Amino acid sequence: MVVHLAKLFMTPSQFKNMIRKGLSDKRTTTFFILQIGMCLLFACLYYLSVIFDERILLIKTPGNDLQASFFEALYFSLITQTTVGYSGGYNYLSNSGRIINCLHLFSMLAVFVLI
């Protein structure tokens, strides 16, 4: 069975129409905005959790590999939010960050159920 490449890909006008149709749907737009908001919110919480553990609770992590970097926290939040998963031994979580990660996962489930 031979498949033509033209049938596998959308034309630019088809893609544009698909995006317009998706954005005109209130449910899709609400879901998209919630996902972006949750990702940024939890990135801030992950960032603050590392600072909280290191500077307030004075808890040093083994190997001292945690650094308070907002971009690392944003990356961790994006990976969690998109349910891609973590490769290798990537470990950004501090002790309080693990609690925040559980809240992040449960809030994602709540958004899927409610929308």
pLDDT digits (tens, 9 = 90+) for 17-57: 888 887 787 887 888 888 889 989 998 988 888 888 777 76
Task: Determine the structural domain holding residue 92 and report its residue range.
Answer: 26-114
CA dist 34 to 1, 50, 74, Å? Answer: 42, 24, 16
**Residue 50 located in a structural domain:** yes
Q: Where are the alpha helices (DSSP H) in 10-57?
A: 12-24, 26-51
How many domains does the chain fold into?
1
The proportion of the chain whose per-residue pLDDT surpasses 90, expressed as a percent, equals 2
13-48 b/e with 16+ CB inside 10 Å = b?
eeeeeeeeeeeeeeeeeeeeeeeeebbeebbebbbb
Which CATH number belongs to the domain containing residue 84 in this structure?
1.10.287
Amino acid at 58: L
User: Pick the residue with more confidence: 68 or 18?
Assistant: 18
In this prediction, residue 67 has a pLDDT band, given cuts at 50, 70 and 90, of low
In this prediction, residue 61 has a pLDDT band, given cuts at 50, 70 and 90, of low
